[in-house]
Chains A and B, each alone.
Chain A
């Protein structure tokens, strides 16, 4: 048997018999998935109080307010003036204010109308959902009035796409599939090398007439397999438990999973070589993975994060994987749409893996 395959087979067998590793790579993400399902896995995750100031006062604006109320996730509260509504917003009794200007109905008939929306940004998650919900509602409403509509409300980049109902579960599933790329691949690859150091078995491998890189390739192969296992199990559970309406475009998903895993594995490799003691390296990998998950948009789109956190997130390769997975699964992205994230992930994987190999060789020679 080839030494690379031999190392991979040995690692995979050990993986299935090592309860700690199995927990972190399969059981823990499943627990997280179940937890998020229990909390957010409903069709309507929350209900927000939203103020409305109707300065037009026509039958049409009245029907708009009724329509907003009927969405079920917003309870509309009417105010006679902007000032009055603003006071309520400041008191946090409402989350947002929709202001319908005077002459709105006439402008709408002339195919040009604006509505202003002020959202409490304290909770970016809720703010994003309100922006998306209001935008979608008005878009749908305008469609009924005139097919050649223009968007009446200017909101930030993050909007729900017309024609596809996107809830939290549709957002969380691609995010949760990023989990194995970060946790499983990184923790597994760190653990695989750390274990050899700790047990002294690295000595046995190094005494054999094989190149140092063979060991790395074998371990990479095993980590890829283990990550793929984790992704597969989580995907099946997500479908069974949540039933999200997602696009499972495997020809596009697999390259993202592969490149994301390679980034995680390379990070794990670097950590295992930099850590002075095996336990230190292992703890570092787990800690880094726990911290990174909040910056990568796993649990919510990165745009919901405060700006400085978004900037941190944008230098983490896994963020691009999470975004690409959402683009494929929610927004039906094509290969052309994914060229940039794919290129980014491939470049970072190559750089990180290269650094890992150099560190490993230096460490072995030391």
Chain B
């Protein structure tokens, strides 16, 4: 295990921001902390990066104790917070050079890492432009490049795509997958269930400072999220009739669609389609809707993940 967290506790006065959190991250894994704002994700990440003290528990990174070997731990981590920590009046290259100086990189290594950033993170096209002249997406890429200029084995990303439009978000997910392909261990926090689902090997769902569940996204959805459902839409004039035909499937009307819960969704979908067709009801849409991490979070906390996060 490259990161091990045991019974971590952090108070802010009376408030317990992190409440007995334990988890471990494997080498080369992309590990997600999923939860709404205020769940304790950022505090947890800042503790791992040595930016905050903790009250109880133990953290080891690559076998080094976070408290006793703080410098070794910090040297192993590239921390990319959600805000862009770049100097607007400096060029991207100058920002990278400054970050490199914090890790005492020599000029040869620095050049290699700039080449890496250009190739993998796509910062080459705007290396010599001042940060204040960059778009939001470019800034984020430059921010990530600066965070990992020292080639750390672990990359910690706090809400890396918050505020991005879907296209840039997907682009950024590709960058994170790229990092994984270079052997990096990625620990990221997000309140975006799709993001966690798309790029994380394992996800810890955090709620009020605690880890409520931890597993692979598929396992979480299967074990906690509940069954898949078939969503059927027919011509509005035939909805009542279709509902009667599908009575044996316990279909319920939700909005303008009939929703049928299914243990074996593919089989059920075929049966439903055939039954409606045999009765002369034309379907406009029949689709399987799998449970999402949103459903998992709702089952665990009784509220929607996105309620607090917008």
Contact = CB atoms under 8 A, between A and B. Distances in A.
B103 to A, nearest CB: 6
A200 B102 contact: no
A2 interface: yes
Interface string B38-75: 00000000100111010000000000000000111011
A207 B100 CA distance: 13
Contacts, number: 76
Interface stretch (B85-93, B177-185, B295-303): B85-93
Nearest to B76: A209
B98 A200 contact: no
A199 B89 CA distance: 12
A1 B87 contact: no
A1 B53 CA distance: 29
A1 B104 contact: yes
Nearest to A210: B102
A204 interface: yes
Contact of A208 (B87, B97, B102): B102
Contacts of A5: 101
Nearest to B99: A204
Q: How large is the interface on A (under 10, 10 to 19, 20 to 34, 35 or more residues)?
A: 20 to 34
B108 to A, nearest CB: 12
A168 B87 CA distance: 44
Interface string B101-131: 1111101000000000000000000000000
A158 to B, nearest CB: 47
A13 to B, nearest CB: 6
Q: Closest 6 A-B residue pairs measured CB to CB? A: A6-B101, A208-B102, A17-B89, A1-B101, A209-B71, A209-B74
A18 B147 CA distance: 24
Contacts of A200: 81, 83, 85
B21 to A, nearest CB: 20
A1 B96 CA distance: 12
A17 B90 CA distance: 8
Interface string A171-205: 00000000000000000000000000001110111
Interface of A: 1-3, 5-7, 9-10, 13-14, 17-18, 199-201, 203-210, 365
A2 B104 contact: yes
Nearest to B95: A10
A3 B85 contact: no
A201 B87 contact: yes
B131 to A, nearest CB: 11
Interface string B13-56: 00000000000000000000000000000000010011101000
Candidate in B53, B89, B105 with the most chain A CB atoms within 10 angstroms = B89
Given A209-B71, A209-B75, A365-B53, A204 B104 contact: no
B207 to A, nearest CB: 25
A203 B303 CA distance: 33
A3 B102 contact: yes
A201 B103 CA distance: 15
A145 B127 CA distance: 79
B90 to A, nearest CB: 6
Nearest to A218: B101
A197 to B, nearest CB: 12
13 contacts: A6-B101, A9-B101, A10-B94, A10-B98, A14-B89, A201-B85, A203-B81, A204-B85, A204-B102, A207-B49, A209-B71, A209-B72, A365-B53
B51 A203 contact: yes
Contacts of B97: 1, 6
B196 to A, nearest CB: 24
Interface string B164-205: 000000000000000000000000000000000000000000
A10 B51 contact: no
A199 B87 contact: yes
B103 A208 contact: yes
B281 to A, nearest CB: 59
A46 B252 CA distance: 99
A3 B87 contact: no
A6 B85 contact: no
A206 B51 contact: yes
A365 B53 CA distance: 8
Contacts of A3: 101-102, 104
B87 A10 contact: yes
Given A1-B97, A3-B101, A209-B71, A13 B50 contact: no
B77 interface: yes
B102 A14 contact: no
Contacts of B107: 1
